[in-house]
Amino acid sequence: MSKGCGKLDEAGTAEIADERYPTKLNKIINLFESLPEDERRETLVSYADNAKKQEPREGENFDLVDVRKDEECMDTVGVYLHVDENGKAHIRMTLGPEVQTLTRAMASVLCKGLEGCTPQEILDLPSNFVTRIVGAELIRIRSQTIYYVLTRIKGICKVYLDRQRMAAVA
Amino acid sequence: MATHPTQYANPEALVETDWLEKHLKDDAMRIVESNEDVLLYDTGHIPGAVHVDWRADLQDPVIRDYISPEKFAELCSRNGITPDTTCIFYGDKANWWACYALWAFRLFGHEKVKILNGGRDKWKAEQRPMTREVPKYPQTNYPVPKKRFDKEIRAFFDEALAQSKSGKPLIDVRSPGEYKGEITHMPEYPQEGVLRGGHVPGAKSMPWKTATKDDATFKPAEELAKIYFDQCGVKPDTDTVVYCRIGERSSHTWFVLTYLLGLDKVRNYDGSWTEWGNKVGAPIEKGA
């Protein structure tokens, strides 16, 4: 298990918070926190540019696929989950053309940062790291869909775990 | 049957994409991009365009109001704008936010303003040049505006209430679901913290996008006149108040009424539904 996928309280300090995030995500958080505002914006745009690379690749198989257009998002968002034989999650995402830049960036960050976590670790992940990546300057009511992407990823992990539990009981 | 104008009252308030591409290096003008998507400008913009962020640049960071005249002068100065500069606004979502920025510039008395017809969507669809290079213009010394034109183009709660009570034209430009009170947020948007649904009594529903065509350009004058004069009961010599949730969609309608139909008594109630729907005791009508 990646260090830092355990459970800590929501109001943890930066040091404590570091331990509650997967190593890859933690590195991304640290990177963003070290950047001045203009470079943070550039890096977010760079992640947004790379969102296409997080789409499913030819030949990949998934345990669960959830593609839908919700009320709270501008366009269709697809989440694809594969859990390997070691119980590690691999997430791919597709984003419709109307999805906002910040949301694209967050999709890219999450696909990379959560790579190799277990579905349960993803489900337990607190959402307060989002503001540490995006920064207060860009957070506003109409950019709340940055949380939507995390919610969707957690949602598919929850469905996966529920099905596993039901299968175990049956 | 009423006759309607066949031309815009102020056709010079619009520039077309092909014209703008030929005038990108015109020193007398400044192209200004304003979007809802906070990072869209950073992903690419019209060469030479500066960015005005509707919240960070135009709104007071603490209280719910616009920036001070001093801050407006600073904003213009750092973007190389003088009172003589023609600002050509464009942006995402059929210029919804561009019209908001234009309205805010008018609030501070900047007179030379235009909209790029079709905005960012049309420019991009026509595969016109885009760049990520952020332009740098020599700092100007924009004089601090002596006043903000709140009285002329902005309505506050009490004025919107008076408008409602007097039966003068009030246009609610939100979606039909918001107007009827079925939903308290825009479709496809998060809830922005309003407690009650419905509309200001007496307001007519005319969603802002009714004024645009599929390519994000404005509809012809005659069609606009039918929409606003015939369907909304707007009259050229009567005060009109427009509103939405925070005053941004209604800025688009304000632009249509003021510049394209030539009405000079139109005010934007920017407190809009996020103020009205939360205000204790404010009268509300529900349904169509």
Q: What would the pLDDT profile of A79-126 be if each residue is shown by its tens digit?
A: 999 999 999 999 999 999 989 999 999 999 999 999 999 999 999 998
Least confident of A4-8, B88-92, B228-232: A4-8
Distance CA A51, CA A103 (A): 10
Q: Which of B36, B42, B193 sits opposite A45 (nearest CB)?
A: B42
What percent of chain B has pLDDT above 70? 97
Query: In the structure, what pLDDT confidence band is assigned to residue B171 with cuts at 50, 70 and 90?
Result: very high
pTM, two decimal places: 0.87
Q: B249: distance to nearest CA of chain A, Å? A: 14
For residue A145, which residues of chain B lie inside 8 Å, CB to CB? 190
Vertex B45, ends B145 and A96: CA angle to 5°?
120
Fold held by B11-148: Oxidized Rhodanese; domain 1 (3.40.250)
| pLDDT tens for each residue of B234-275 | 998 899 999 999 999 999 999 999 999 999 999 999 999 999
For residue B55, which residues of chain A lie inside 8 Å, CB to CB? 140
CATH second-level architecture of B151-276? 3-Layer(aba) Sandwich (3.40)
Q: Do B193 and A74 touch (CB under 8 A)?
A: no
Query: In the structure, what pLDDT confidence band is assigned to residue A7 with cuts at 50, 70 and 90?
Result: very low
Closest alpha carbon within chain A to B40: A101
Whether B151-276 and B11-148 are alike in CATH topology: the answer is yes
Edge to edge, the sheet with strand B29-33 lists B14-15, B113-116, B86-90, B29-33, B50-51
pLDDT above 80 (res A15): no
Tokens found for residue B106: 């008018």
Q: Do B39 and A72 touch (CB under 8 A)?
A: no
For residue B184, which residues of chain A lie inside 8 Å, CB to CB? none
Give the model's pLDDT for residue B164. 96
B235's enclosing H/E stretch is none
For residue B193, which residues of chain A lie inside 8 Å, CB to CB? 141
Distance CA A151, CA A98 (A): 19
Q: Which of A41, A71, A100 sits opposite B187 (nearest CB)?
A: A71
Domain ranges within chain B, ordered by starting residue: 11-148, 151-276
Model ipTM? 0.78
Q: B39: distance to nearest CA of chain A, Å? A: 6
Chain A residues in contact with chain B using a Cβ-Cβ cutoff of 8 Å: 41-42, 44-45, 48-49, 71-74, 100-102, 105, 137-138, 140-145
For residues A129, A135, A141, A145, the Cα torsion angle rounded to the nearest 10 degrees is: -50
